Amino acid sequence: MAGSGELVVALAGQPNCGKSTVFNMITGGRQHVANYPGVTVDIKEGIISSEGKRIRVADLPGTYGLSSFSNEERVARNFILYQKPHLVVNVVDTSNIKRHLYLTLQLLEMGAPVVLNLNMTDVADARGVQVDPKILGERLGVPVVTSVASQGKGKRELRRILKTLRAPEPRIIPYGTLEPFILRIQEKLERACPDWIFPLRWSAVKLLEQDETLLAELARRGEAGEEVRQLANSLAEDFRKEHDEDPEGHIAFSRHLAAKELAEGCVVATKSTTKTLTDRIDSVVLNRGLSLFWLAGVIYLLYELAIVKGYELTAYTWPYLAGFRSWVASLLPPAHFYSEPLLRALTLSVVDAVLSVLNYVPIFLILFACIAILEDSGYMPRMAFILDRLFRKFGLHGQSTLPLILGGVFVGGCAVPGVMATRVISDEQARLATILVVPLMNCMAKIPLYTLLVNVYFADHKGFAMFFISTITIIVALMAAKILTLTVLRSKERSPFVMEMPPYHLPTFFGVGTRTVERTWLFVKKVGTIIMLVAIVIYGLTSFPGLSGGVRQSFEDQERTLKNAFLQEIAGNPAGKPFTEDSRAIDALITYWDSYQNGIKQVSSKEEKKAFLEEYKKQDPDFFAVLLPGRDKDAKAVQGAFKTLLSERGTLQRSYKEKVISSSLLGRLGISLEPITRWAGFDWKVNVSLLSALAAKENTVATLGALYQPEEGQEGAALEERMESQAKGFTQLHALALMIFMALYPPCIATLIMVRLEAGKKGTRWMLLSLLFPICLGFLFASGIFTLGSLFQVTGLQAMGIFYALALAGALVLSRIEPREHKNAYGMEGR
């Protein structure tokens, strides 16, 4: 990669050194996530040009060291080893220089062309730590640049230094008693593998540390490599025996001493620090009595800002989206009397699906901004600190807090950002468990069905029913997480909980802004495109194979009857003359009416409305008279008859739709599932609406609406009333079973795609698991409630209470189960 006249610069540093702020400052926000084969951790890249030179800046993941234990460390190290950047800018938190030099020394040891960036000197000043860059530069033998990236200070110097070319020269760190061992491996390696491209001494040290990457390199060299490996192993064993110490421990300690010596040589402490500001904040924020209170406040604020306020914002943005839909609709061939042309129906269903995602953009902008602020401020690790104990009992991790909140712990979240946020969880087992249970939370799209059912069937106990549904999900999710970690996730890697509590920071507007836009765009791009495809598939499944000739004929007959009734009604009326003369004019009037209805919605000002009406009058004065008869009695009579026709047409359209759905592939599936779903009390109508909800849960209520047609005298009745009167056999117990199933419903397509992306290796398998296990779990609970409930003749409300108590008890029992080989999970107490 290095070469071709382009300079490659890597930014390396420990977490919380302000590296991404430095990256933003250097690249000015023009950045993208680069794709490197086999890399699961994102590497961001920005390209800048300076005096005709193209410089590609790669932001490596923040790492404490360069071992091959964690994914981040492997990625960062392999980038330096294999991509061979021209320069490695090592960003360092000046206020905590000793720990950060620990990484610097490792970079230098592997021969990376390092430039040191002393960042956050303002924080250091406040803490009374001053570092002399000149002395440090001389001792390290590398150029040193100071900066305060959060204030944009040091930008020019940093950009200038990017062009310095440095010859890589490995630094020698004294390893004391380990030296003879290193020397022997080094000699052996040089003889056995003459084509070895990495610095020899560094390689010898790494082999003593049992470094995976280098062991793999050796394995590639066959027998010669095997000899070196064996020697390194036996020497490591010898050292262990002689010195009662692990070589890796000795190596780390030597580096630590070297870093300490360096730091002591160049740090001038101006005042002795007693308590840092962060420590003082933490004594309030993490106060044992108050911390849960603060946490609840933060969660509440997150909901209030993103979900509540964001939802209010969509009221302002929706008209634009609706306007776009009307505009598209006006371009498409007009609807027929009771059906729609394929092109129109298909295009509109795709547009609707995409708009349903775009509608959430305001919510996501606020949500992602809030997360970025939480991340940058340093509160995230505190959340993990507060709740870790609780989550760990169920196989999750303190860092699962945020993903679960985003998924909608109580009511109103979205699983997509929830799954995205699992990335920070360092424990692989807990991360996968969190990915799998986040979709069980109550996302915004599940709410309409809850509201519908609660309003119809639990009207007298709304408060309890809402409390039930918003807390049962987290209880079930914790149980599910525990069961998953005890079974399918049992063998997944667990990592120790050793987490830095970084100093608090004031987030920068620029940092928060870029990340917000970036993540929202990623969401829209990924989800939007997939949703389009899914909408087409769902359309196909709900429309084909279509109706038989006989049924179609009966609809045509009904159309004719309705039109004849209209004609009879207006017979002899002079205003109805165009229609009695040529009955095709009825269709033209309907099209005219539809297009008028569509157009008038987009008219806002008085002048516009006037012009709009003028235009329609000019188009066809006869139709216009029916549209707005004014005081014309004849025209008024025609309008009356026409309105009756329209309402009859509406009924015919809906019953046509119902017929099409019920004879479609999805409808047939819904009907054929009835024998099984009967256990849970679901009829085919519920089945179809649940199946269509797979694409997006918003569909549930819409499909139910299409299936529960208004009956005679019920036109305009809300779906609540229609369900109540038509679904006679549908009881509270049915409603409860349906609500429970919905609560545990498998993730929507958008979430499934995120699950596949975030799960990493074998993502497709995890995606399928996250699709299937909630179906099983939900169906098990729903049929349990319905079948047992019917058997013992309890009401839905009683069943609700019993189920809640059982779930609580189940969770309590599960929390007591200790996974096997828990204690010795990381080889502690070893030798």
Partner 1 sequence: MRLNELSPGTKAFVKKVHARGMISQRLRDFGFFPGVEVKVLRCSPLKDPVEFLVESNFVSIRHEEAHCVEVAE
Q: Which CB sits closer to partner 1, 122 or 620? A: 122
Beta-carbon count within 10 A of 737 CB? 30
Q: At what angle do helices 247-266 and 222-243 cross, to 10 degrees?
A: 80
Burial (Cβ within 10 Å: 0-12, 13-18, ≥19) of residue 506: exposed
* Distance between CA atoms of residues 218 and 360, nearest Å: 52
Coil, strand, or helix at residue 183? helix
Name the DSSP letter for residue 335.
P
Name the DSSP letter for residue 812.
H
Q: Which CB sits closer to partner 1, 122 or 594? A: 122
Q: Write down the least CB distance from residue 806 to partner 1, Å.
A: 25
Q: Which CB sits closer to partner 1, 275 or 631? A: 275
Q: Which CB sits closer to partner 1, 166 or 243? A: 243
Q: Which CB sits closer to partner 1, 56 or 77? A: 77
Name the DSSP letter for residue 786.
I
Would you say 380 and 504 are in contact if contact means Cβ atoms under 8 Å apart?
Answer: no
Would you say 603 and 611 are in contact if contact means Cβ atoms under 8 Å apart?
Answer: no
Give the strand pairing for 129-131 and 267-269: antiparallel
Q: Write down the least CB distance from residue 494 to partner 1, Å.
A: 9
Q: Write down the least CB distance from residue 219 to partner 1, Å.
A: 20
Q: Write down the least CB distance from residue 118 to partner 1, Å.
A: 15
**Token output for 518:** 């970036």
Q: At what angle do helices 97-109 and 200-208 cross, to 10 degrees?
A: 120
Would you say 666 and 688 are in contact if contact means Cβ atoms under 8 Å apart?
Answer: yes
Q: Which CB sits closer to partner 1, 250 or 563? A: 250
Q: Write down the least CB distance from residue 25 to partner 1, Å.
A: 25
Residue in 372, 494, 379, 383 with CA at minimum distance from that of residue 433: 494
Q: Write down the least CB distance from residue 536 to partner 1, Å.
A: 47
Q: Write down the least CB distance from residue 291 to partner 1, Å.
A: 5
- The string of DSSP codes covering 438-488 is GGGS-BGGGHHHHHHHHHHHSGGGHHHHHHHHHHHHHHHHHHHHHHHHHTT
Q: Which CB sits closer to partner 1, 96 or 442? A: 96
Q: Write down the least CB distance from residue 177 to partner 1, Å.
A: 15
Q: Which CB sits closer to partner 1, 290 or 533? A: 290
Q: Write down the least CB distance from residue 104 to partner 1, Å.
A: 14
- Alpha-carbon distances, residue 45 vs 27, 28, 36, 639 (angstroms): 9, 12, 11, 65
Q: Write down the least CB distance from residue 214 to partner 1, Å.
A: 16
CA angle 559, 561, 565 (to 5 degrees): 120
Q: Which CB sits closer to partner 1, 298 or 365? A: 298
Residues that bind partner 1 (CB under 8 A): 64-65, 67, 69-70, 95-96, 98-99, 102, 246, 248-249, 252-253, 256, 278-279, 282-283, 286, 288-289, 291-292, 381, 385-390, 392, 398, 495-503, 823, 826-831
Would you say 291 and 386 are in contact if contact means Cβ atoms under 8 Å apart?
Answer: yes
* Distance between CA atoms of residues 224 and 218, nearest Å: 8
Q: Which CB sits closer to partner 1, 187 or 493? A: 493
